[in-house]
Amino acid sequence: MNQVKLRVAEEKDCQRLLELIKELAEYERAPEEVTVTLAEFKDAGFGKKPVWKAFVAELDGVIQGFALYYVRYSTWKGCRLYLEDFVVTEALRGKGIGKLLFETIIQEAQDLGFNGMTWQVLDWNEPALNFYSKYEANIEPGWLNGSLSKDQIRNFQST
Instruction: Check if 69 is active-site.
Output: no
Whether the CB-CB separation of 105 and 67 falls below 8 Å is answered with yes
In the chain, what are the helix, strand and coil shares in percent, each to the nearest 5?
Answer: 40, 25, 40
Among candidate residues 69, 73, 82, 132, the one labeled active-site is 132
DSSP 97-143: HHHHHHHHHHHHHHHTT-S-EEE---TT-HHHHHHHHTTT-----S-
| Cα dihedral 117→123→128→133 (10° resolution) | 70
Q: Which amino acid is at 134?
A: K
In angstroms, rounded to a whole number, what is the distance separating the alpha carbons of residues 54 and 9? 5
- The residues assigned a catalytic role are 132
